[in-house]
C-alpha cells in the first residue's frame, strides 16, 4: 500500500456529505435525517448505538439512482430491508437483506445495501466481498464501483481507491461525489495538481446537478490554503459561507485562512462565530485550539488561556 504524503484518507474526509437527501422513489436507498442519528447493527458483535462518524453514515445512506434490475424473488425482502434501514432499525435491516440475498444472490441493490451496513459497522471485509459480488453481477453499476472505491479510500488503500473511482466516473460522468473522493484520494498521495482539478470538477458537477455542498467547496479551499494560494482559497470559502452561513465549518476555514494571512484579530472573530454555531463537523476542541493560536498571535494571552482551559475541560470530560 502506498504511503500517504499528507494526512490519511480518513483525516481528509469531508464530514457533512449530503446531510439532506430528498426522498427517492420506493426501493431506492435514502438518507437518515440530517441530525445524523448514530447507531450500529449488532450482527457482527457491535453494540447498538456505537458512535458512527456522521459523514460516513450520511454518505453511506446516499441514494442509489442506477437503473433497477428486473423484478427478482429477493426484491420484496430487499425493499423491506431498505425501509428498515431508513427507519434506523439496522439489525432488522441486516436480517432482511440477508433474506433477500438468499433468494437472489445477485441482487445488486441488496448487495450494495449490505455493503453500506457493513461499512457503518466497520466491517470492511464484508463490504468489499459484497461489492465485488455486485460488480460481478452488474459491471455497469457505477454506484457499486463508487462504493468499491470508497471502501478502499476509507482503509487508506489509495491507489486501489483511485482505480475504482476512475471507473465509477467513466460509468457515470455526471455524479459530483466521485470526483470529490477521487480528489481526496489524490491529495492523500500528494498529487496536488490532479486533486485540485478533480475538486473543481466536483464543484462544476455539483452546480450543474444541484449536488453542490460545502464539502466540495471547502475540500478545494483547504488544498489551496496548503498550497499558499490565499486569494483562490478565499473565493471558495466565501462561496461556502454564502451556501451555509449557519455552519461552523466555513467560518472555521475562514479563521484558518485569516490566521495564515497574518490577520489574528479577524481569525479570532471568525473563530468565535464558529464556536457559537452548532451545525457542522468541526469540533469544539478544534475551534478552541485555533482561538488559542489566534489570541496568542494577537498578544491577548488572557483570552488564549480561556480557550486553553476550555480544551482541558473537553479532555477531562472525554476521560470520564
CATH class of 12-141: mainly alpha
Fold of domain 247-320: 1.25.40
Shortest CA distance to 39 belongs to which of 129, 106, 117?
Answer: 117
**How far out from the chain centre does Cα 320 lie?**
29
Measured CA distances, 149 to 68, 137, 178 (Å): 21, 17, 9
Reported as a single tens digit per residue, the pLDDT across 119-177 is 999 999 999 999 999 999 999 999 999 999 999 999 999 999 999 999 999 999 999 99
How many Cβ atoms sit within 10 Å of the Cβ of residue 216? 30
The predicted pLDDT at position 6 comes to 34
The predicted pLDDT at position 4 comes to 37
The predicted pLDDT at position 70 comes to 56
The predicted pLDDT at position 134 comes to 98
The predicted pLDDT at position 50 comes to 38
Instruction: Give the domain ranges of the chain.
Output: 12-141, 247-320
- Using CA atoms, how far apart are residues 28 and 315, in angstroms rounded to an integer? 41
The reply to whether 12-141 and 247-320 are identical in fold is yes
pLDDT tens-digit profile, the chain (320 residues): 433 333 344 444 453 332 322 223 233 343 333 333 333 333 444 333 333 343 454 455 454 434 444 578 999 999 999 999 999 899 999 999 999 999 999 999 999 999 999 999 999 999 999 999 999 999 999 999 999 999 999 999 999 999 999 999 999 999 999 999 999 999 999 999 999 999 999 999 999 999 999 999 999 999 999 999 999 999 999 999 999 999 999 999 999 999 999 999 999 999 999 999 999 999 999 999 999 999 999 999 999 999 999 999 999 998 88
This model's pTM is above 0.85:
no
Amino acid at each position: 500500500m502506498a504511503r500517504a504524503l499528507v494526512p490519511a484518507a480518513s483525516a481528509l474526509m469531508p464530514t457533512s456529505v449530503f446531510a439532506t437527501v430528498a426522498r427517492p422513489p420506493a426501493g431506492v436507498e435514502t438518507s437518515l435525517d440530517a441530525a445524523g442519528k448514530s447507531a450500529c447493527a449488532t450482527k457482527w458483535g457491535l453494540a447498538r448505538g456505537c458512535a458512527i462518524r456522521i459523514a460516513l453514515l450520511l454518505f453511506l445512506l446516499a441514494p442509489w439512482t442506477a437503473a433497477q434490475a428486473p423484478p427478482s424473488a429477493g426484491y420484496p425482502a430487499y425493499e423491506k430491508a431498505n425501509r428498515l434501514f431508513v427507519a434506523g432499525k439496522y439489525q432488522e435491516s441486516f436480517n432482511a437483506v440477508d433474506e433477500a440475498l438468499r433468494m437472489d444472490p445477485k441482487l445488486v441493490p441488496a448487495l450494495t445495501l449490505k455493503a453500506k451496513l457493513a461499512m457503518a459497522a466497520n466491517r470492511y471485509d464484508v463490504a468489499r466481498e459484497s461489492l465485488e459480488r455486485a460488480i460481478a453481477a452488474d459491471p455497469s453499476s457505477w454506484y457499486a464501483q463508487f462504493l468499491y472505491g470508497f471502501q478502499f479510500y476509507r482503509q487508506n488503500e489509495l491507489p486501489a481507491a483511485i482505480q475504482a473511482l476512475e471507473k465509477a466516473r467513466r460509468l457515470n460522468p455526471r455524479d459530483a461525489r466521485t470526483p470529490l473522493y477521487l480528489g481526496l484520494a489524490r491529495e492523500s498521495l500528494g498529487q496536488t495538481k490532479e486533486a485540485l482539478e478533480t475538486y473543481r470538477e466536483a464543484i462544476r458537477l455539483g452546480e450543474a446537478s444541484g449536488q453542490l455542498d460545502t464539502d466540495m467547496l471547502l475540500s478545494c479551499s483547504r488544498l489551496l490554503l496548503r498550497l499558499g494560494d490565499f486569494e483562490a482559497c478565499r473565493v471558495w470559502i466565501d462561496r461556502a459561507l454564502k451556501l451555509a452561513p449557519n455552519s461552523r465549518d466555513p467560518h472555521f476555514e475562514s479563521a484558518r485562512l485569516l490566521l495564515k494571512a497574518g490577520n489574528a484579530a479577524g481569525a479570532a472573530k471568525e473563530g468565535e462565530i464558529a464556536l457559537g454555531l452548532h451545525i457542522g463537523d468541526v469540533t469544539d476542541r478544534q475551534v478552541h485550539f485555533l482561538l488559542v493560536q489566534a489570541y496568542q498571535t494577537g498578544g491577548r494571552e488572557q483570552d488564549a488561556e480561556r480557550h486553553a482551559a476550555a480544551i482541558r475541560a473537553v479532555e477531562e470530560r472525554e476521560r470520564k
